[in-house]
Amino acid sequence: MDHTNHVRLTSTELTPDILEDATIYDADDNKVGSVSHVHGSGAASQVVIDV
């Protein structure tokens, strides 16, 4: 997957509504899992990833 055209989210966009169920990829573009839960919001957000 070519990530060069992806727009980086701003810190105000790092919310559970946007991040939950997002797919997580490794450096080789292999699917690792998905975001199952988000703690907090903004730049200090922490996520739980289902693998």
Segment 2-24 mean pLDDT:
87
User: Are 31 and 24 within 8 A, CB to CB?
Assistant: yes
Q: Is the pLDDT of residue 8 over 80?
A: yes
> Where is pLDDT greater, at 42 or 21?
21
Dihedral sign (CA 11, 15, 17, 22): positive
Q: Where are the domains of the chain?
A: 11-50
Segment 10-24 mean pLDDT:
90
Predicted pLDDT at 41: 79
Q: Is the pLDDT of residue 2 over 80?
A: no
